């Protein structure tokens, strides 16, 4: 069966103003709206479109996190994914261990493509896709803004600093997606009801033979400094004077 594996992450919704805990120990998530990482949602939408074009037969969505991530997996199922897998972990899983978990699932599911968001908006690491490709020993195409499949080859247009770059990679491969690839569909109520009957399996890293460990420790979180009040100046003379006062000229 031609199968696509899609990784998603539960994050604070991008419309929510993030607050730091008073003691600086982390980000306050109590009562905050949580959602699928926006880049991952785009990856899922692209996988669904590939399936709808008849180029894949099944879309399996995976999340690594706490039991609460089932809500985001159910949303993914409502969008159109066929199956969901939760690898439940009560502690944060770093990119390398996430890649190892995904590799074990690849060995079980045998997908012809793995689609991931280029990064998560909570930690912005942009590492999991590249690490997974290295561990899997398969090609990768990152920052995809267009994906075309022809047989066993993926033609990917990438967003790079100089503009756009088009490459071809042999499948199976890891593809990470950028914002301009597509616009995810809205989930309708009937689809939400249908999603409740779709299979959602729960595993642990230990079930897959992976033992996550902490390599990086955050010592403190601080909110960004407040922006200084702007100045309205009458002319260039006042501008030069203001710059001199600040020692900028």
Q: Chunked in runs of 10, what are the mean pLDDT values of the chain (249 residues)?
A: 95 87 83 92 97 96 95 95 95 92 96 96 92 97 95 94 93 95 92 91 94 87 83 88 86
pLDDT given at position 17: 85
Domain residue limits at 9: 3-245
The CATH number of the domain holding residue 102 is: 3.40.50.620
CA gap 67, 21 in Å, rounded: 23
pLDDT given at position 114: 98
pLDDT given at position 182: 95
pLDDT given at position 160: 87
93 burial type by CB count under 10 A (0-12 exposed, 13-18 middle, 19+ buried): buried
pLDDT given at position 41: 97
Q: Which of 83, 95, 75, 96 is nearest to 189 (CA)?
A: 75
What is the tally of structural domains in the chain? 1
Going by their DSSP bridges, the two strands 200-203 and 83-88 should be labelled as parallel
DSSP 203-222: E-GGGGT-------------
63 burial type by CB count under 10 A (0-12 exposed, 13-18 middle, 19+ buried): buried
In three-state secondary structure terms, 28 is: strand
pLDDT given at position 162: 86
Q: What is the pTM (predicted TM-score) of this model?
A: 0.87
In three-state secondary structure terms, 1 is: coil
pLDDT given at position 232: 87
pLDDT given at position 176: 96
DSSP state of 68: G
């Amino acid at each position: 069966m031609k199968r696509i594996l899609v990784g998603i992450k539960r994050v604070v919704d991008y419309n929510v103003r993030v607050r730091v805990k008073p003691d600086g120990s982390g980000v306050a998530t109590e009562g905050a709206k949580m959602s699928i990482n926006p880049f991952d949602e785009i990856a899922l939408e692209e996988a669904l479109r590939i399936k709808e074009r008849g180029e894949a037969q099944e879309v399996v969505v995976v999340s690594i996190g706490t039991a609460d991530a089932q809500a985001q997996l159910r949303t993914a199922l409502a969008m159109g994914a066929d199956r969901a897998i939760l690898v439940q972990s009560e502690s944060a899983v770093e990119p390398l261990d996430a890649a190892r978990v995904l590799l074990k699932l690849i060995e079980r599911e045998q997908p012809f493509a793995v689609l991931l968001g280029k990064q998560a908006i909570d930690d912005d690491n942009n590492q999991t896709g590249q690490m997974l490709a290295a561990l899997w020993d398969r090609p990768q195409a990152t920052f995809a803004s267009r994906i075309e499949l022809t047989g066993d080859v993926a033609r990917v247009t990438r967003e790079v600093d100089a503009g756009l770059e088009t490459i071809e990679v042999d499948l199976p491969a890891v593809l990470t997606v950028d914002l301009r690839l597509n616009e995810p569909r809205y989930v309708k109520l009937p689809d939400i009801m249908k999603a409740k009957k779709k299979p959602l399996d729960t595993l642990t890293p230990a079930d897959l033979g992976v033992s996550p460990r902490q390599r990086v420790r955050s010592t403190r979180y601080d909110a960004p400094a407040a922006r200084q009040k702007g100045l309205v100046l009458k002319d260039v003379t006042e501008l030069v004077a203001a710059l001199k006062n600040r020692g900028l000229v």
